[in-house]
Amino acid sequence: MIVEMRQGATQEQIDAVIERAHKYGFKVQLNIGTDKVVVAILGSDTGRVSTEVFAVLPGVESVTRIMRPYKLASREFKKEPTLVHVGDIVIGGPKVVVMAGPCAIESREQLFATAEHVLKVGASIVRGGAFKPRTSPFSFQGLGQEGVELLSELRREFGVPVISEVTDPHLLDDMVDHVDILQIGARNMQNYALLRAVGQSGKPCLLKRGLAATITEWLQAADYLLEAGGGQVILCERGIRTFETSTRFTLDISSVGVIKRVSHLPVIVDPSHAAGHYELVPTLARAAVAAGADGLLIEVHPDPTNALSDGLQSLTFSDFERLMGELKQIAQAIGRSI
Ligand code: PEP
Ligand code: MN
């Protein structure tokens, strides 16, 4: 249930709503907007209480029952778009934010050379996997903590934010001080212990859509992060499994429009994992910017033919540079910039 307070409602009136929710055994979460306060009444059984119980209280403008199974990620709870701040970069504003770098960090040279190139041609955040969730236990699993330390050195030296995937709550302590955005991978979208732990860290977080998750399930996963206290959530569409096998996954480009309609969270697109092939990445990246995505997450490698993971979908430096030129024009055509 969403209780919208009147403009200028007093703290006493807001407290009365919270007190009544607690009396019925519900949790609450406040959204303090620029001109009004919205109180989300949270519980699995809010249906047992009439909306009038809250509507009757002084200072209440309206009470809406949320039929959607997600609440905190919904537009009903928060009308104004969420802006995620990472240093002086804003995700969800007019600028399309490009995050680029290797799938997995392989060495200092590989990471630093890639970062230097992608930043030179317009990326603003560097990606690099240290703990890799590989489908096979026999594939390269990433450099682990050594990779995190290389990212830490990179952000200090280049003064640039970095994003890396956290695969287990136990790794959080070692990662929070070294990365700017914690990535939750597609395979972990419904790892609720991880979602809670990342939410509690209060760090900006990128939540990838699960391989076979509906948009509703994805937003319910976002609710876990938001409920735990992490307000700075970015969603990332990375393709879903369908009957089509000619791409690695099927990029659900319509999810960008759906998210914009039903949620206040920013949404970016990862064309690399959806395409699975370097020749298809530019097509999907261009479509994502045209569709209104707030950013992109793209894999780039100095020598994709010898990459230790995802070489086939990684762009070379020159392919990435060409793509950035195209994306800048598309962004401009829809009144945005890169
Ligand atoms: C990644 O971005 O490195 C990754 C493993 O992606 P996903 O979780 O989308 O498969
Ligand atoms: Mn990858």
Under 8 Å CB-to-CB from 298, ≥6 apart: which residues? 98, 99, 100, 123, 127, 270, 271, 272, 281, 285, 315, 320, 323
Residues 149 and 254 occupy one common structural domain: yes
Mark which of 13, 30, 64 sits at the end of a domain.
64
103 lines ligand 1 (CB under 6 A): yes
The pLDDT tens digits of the residues spanning 285-305 come to 999 999 999 999 999 999 999
In a domain, 72, yes or no: no
Distance 132 CA to ligand 1 centre (A): 8
Task: Give the residue whose CA is nearest to atom 4 of ligand 1.
Answer: 185
Q: Which two tokens stand for residue 297?
A: 């997450």
pTM for the structure as a whole: 0.93
Residues 188 and 132 occupy one common structural domain: yes
Distance 67 CA to ligand 2 centre (A): 36
* 243: Cα within 13 Å, side-chain hemisphere: 0
Residues 43 and 154 occupy one common structural domain: no
Residues 253 and 180 occupy one common structural domain: yes
Distance 70 CA to ligand 2 centre (A): 29
Rounded CA separation 263/75 (Å)? 5
185 lines ligand 1 (CB under 6 A): yes
Residues 137 and 30 occupy one common structural domain: no
Residues 105 and 241 occupy one common structural domain: yes
In a domain, 124, yes or no: yes
264 lines ligand 1 (CB under 6 A): no
Residues 239 and 305 occupy one common structural domain: yes
Q: What is the CATH number of the domain that holds 25?
A: 3.30.70.1140
In a domain, 70, yes or no: no
Task: Give the residue whose CA is nearest to atom 3 of ligand 1.
Answer: 103
DSSP 281: H
Residues 115 and 255 occupy one common structural domain: yes
Overall number of domains in the chain? 2
273 lines ligand 1 (CB under 6 A): yes
Distance 139 CA to ligand 2 centre (A): 12
Pocket test for ligand 1, best of 273, 284, 297 (most atoms within 8 A of CB): 273
In a domain, 228, yes or no: yes
208 lines ligand 1 (CB under 6 A): yes
Q: What is the CATH number of the domain that holds 288?
A: 3.20.20.70
In a domain, 257, yes or no: yes
Residues 57 and 190 occupy one common structural domain: no
Residues 106 and 10 occupy one common structural domain: no
Strand locations in 156-264 (E): 162-165, 181-184, 205-208, 233-237
Distance 335 CA to ligand 1 centre (A): 30
In a domain, 152, yes or no: yes
The pLDDT tens digits of the residues spanning 176-202 come to 999 999 999 999 999 999 999 999 999
Q: According to the model, what pLDDT value does residue 68 have?
A: 83
In a domain, 69, yes or no: no
Residues 29 and 160 occupy one common structural domain: no
Which of ligand 1's atoms lies nearest the C-alpha of 183? 2
DSSP 210: P
Query: What DSSP line would sit under 230-247, residue for residue?
Result: ---EEEEE--B--S--SS
Rounded CA separation 55/51 (Å)? 6
Q: According to the model, what pLDDT value does residue 39 have?
A: 96
In a domain, 170, yes or no: yes
pLDDT tens digits in sequence order for the chain, 338 residues long = 999 999 999 999 999 999 999 999 999 999 998 889 999 999 888 888 999 999 999 999 999 988 788 999 999 999 999 999 999 999 999 999 999 999 999 999 999 999 999 999 999 999 999 999 888 999 999 999 999 999 999 999 999 999 999 999 999 999 999 999 999 999 999 999 999 999 999 999 999 999 999 999 999 999 999 999 878 999 999 999 999 999 999 999 999 999 999 999 999 999 999 999 999 999 999 999 999 999 999 999 999 999 999 999 999 999 999 999 999 999 999 999 99
Which ligand is the nearest neighbour of the Cα of 209? 1
Domain holding 32, by residue range, is: 2-64
Residues 192 and 242 occupy one common structural domain: yes
Distance 186 CA to ligand 1 centre (A): 6
Distance 34 CA to ligand 2 centre (A): 39
